[in-house]
Amino acid sequence: MEAIARTWTQGEQERLFDSYFSDVPGICPVCSQEVSMLMSLGSTVTLLLRCEGCDNKATVSRALRMPRHVPRTNEDESQWD
């Protein structure tokens, strides 16, 4: 992996969060690769965002009313360490 060219802004992280719940894939604003997203549910919805292209990582949390259908994530969280 390359070093981070620049870190994502808060606005970019929020747009990636929103893209998880849309039909459009989350595309990294730094390197244009698709961003991996892992969802965790609790009192808030938390997404772990990671781009393998530029090595950006972020955690975005938001209190949401959950839609009726929530996309499942079938990944092992240990790869995010």
The tens digit of pLDDT for each residue in 67-81 reads: 556 666 665 655 555
pLDDT at position 57: 95
- Looking at residue 47, its pLDDT comes to 94
Q: What's the chain look like in SS3?
A: CCCCCCCCCHHHHHHHHHHHCCCCCCECCCCCCECEEEEEECCCEEEEEECCCCCCEEEEEECCCCCCCCCCCCCCHHHHC
Name the more confident of 66 and 17.
17
What Rg do the C-alpha atoms of the chain give, in angstroms?
A: 12
**What pTM does this model have?**
0.71
* pLDDT single digits (tens) 27-80: 999 999 999 999 988 778 999 999 999 999 999 998 866 555 666 666 565 555
